[in-house]
Amino acid sequence: MYRKARSVPLKSSSSALYNNLSVLPLRDKPLTYFAAVHGSTVSLASAAADGLSVSHRQLQAKEGGPAVSASIVTQASWCVLPSRVLLVLTSQKGIQMYESDGSIMVYWHALDVLEPPPAQAVFARGIAATSGRFICVGTSSGLVLVFDVPSKGTNITLSEVLEEHHDSITDITSEVGENPNGAADLVTADDSGALCVWRAKEEFSLLTKISAFGWTCSSVKLWNGVIAAGYGNGQIRLYEATSGALRATVSAHARWIYALDLAPLTGKLLSGAEDSYVQIWKLSRNPDTGDIEIEHCHSECVTDTQLCGARFCDPEGNSFAATGYDLSEIVRYGQV
């Protein structure tokens, strides 16, 4: 069971964007960082466990040179690497990487668009760290940019561009559990609903491609070789990462799914959707057959709220937080 805890106020409300919440529990302090996007601004909040002590910072989407007009931010996410943590912002103009508290921008990458096709938006979206040194970011053209990040400093380089997708990238995820037999490291999803599964070594190689079936895949997670994908029809689908085989389909929500998250230590899966519900599930493998199994654990309604972001606040999945469209706070729940 989960019970509502003290909410974290935001300086501005949250935009209706996929995966519009990022959470970073601090290892050395009893604090948790939260980030949510509103227009051209990212609202950062750090809160103690009791929710009484909250500090705020707001980041504006910057451009390479003097800003002529504010750029709409599409996502903000912390990328945890072995030696450093970076806050990555994606927008219509490019990609920004900051120190974890948002104080210093260490890298800027402009989207290289000379003349976009008429009526086609240009933006970056989908952020994930993988293999200890890479940060992968998706684009509206379907490209996935792979950045090689040093253990310190600003010498971040674009090392590779992955070109398998033909539609805008919606989300990118890396393996958060045990990586069986060095199999899949990364999964990329796009607007058509197609998924690509990658192995990340010095160069990235495509392991398998999972075909679209008519609905956008808005959020995707990878745990112990299991892909959990959330779709616009409210379904969660579970696939084998190595083969792309479909193992389970769950009619999880009545409306469009906006966010998934996985607790790496327990296999708990969280889903948040337009129908105002956060659902908690438990993933496992049958010890006898190796089959993927999913069990429903908890359902929470955030009344009259179109949820757009939801995340666990700890690796065990004992607490979670959620954002909603036009909601000027982050709602939090803890296990009892």
Q: What distances in angstroms separate CA 97 from CA 44, 87, 329, one per listed residue?
A: 14, 6, 25
Burial of 214 (0-12, 13-18, 19+ CB in 10 A): exposed
Distance CA 85, CA 97 (A): 10
Three-state DSSP state, 220: strand
Q: Model-level pTM greater than 0.75?
A: yes
List, in sequence order, every residue forming a beta bridge with 96; answer none if it has no partner: 89, 108
The pLDDT of residue 297 is 96
Query: H or E stretch including 205?
Result: strand 204-210
The pLDDT of residue 113 is 62
Q: What distances in angstroms separate CA 302 from CA 191, 263, 305, 323, one per listed residue?
A: 27, 21, 6, 9
Question: In this structure, what DSSP letter does residue 40 have?
Answer: T
The pLDDT of residue 71 is 86
Average pLDDT, consecutive stretches of 10 residues, N- to C-terminus, the chain (336 residues) = 93 96 90 95 90 86 59 96 96 94 94 64 95 95 96 95 97 82 87 96 93 97 96 97 95 97 96 98 92 96 96 96 96 93
Q: Which of 291, 324, 319 has its CA nearest to residue 306?
A: 324
What the chain holds in terms of domains, given with CATH numbers, is: 2-17+114-335 (2.130.10.10)
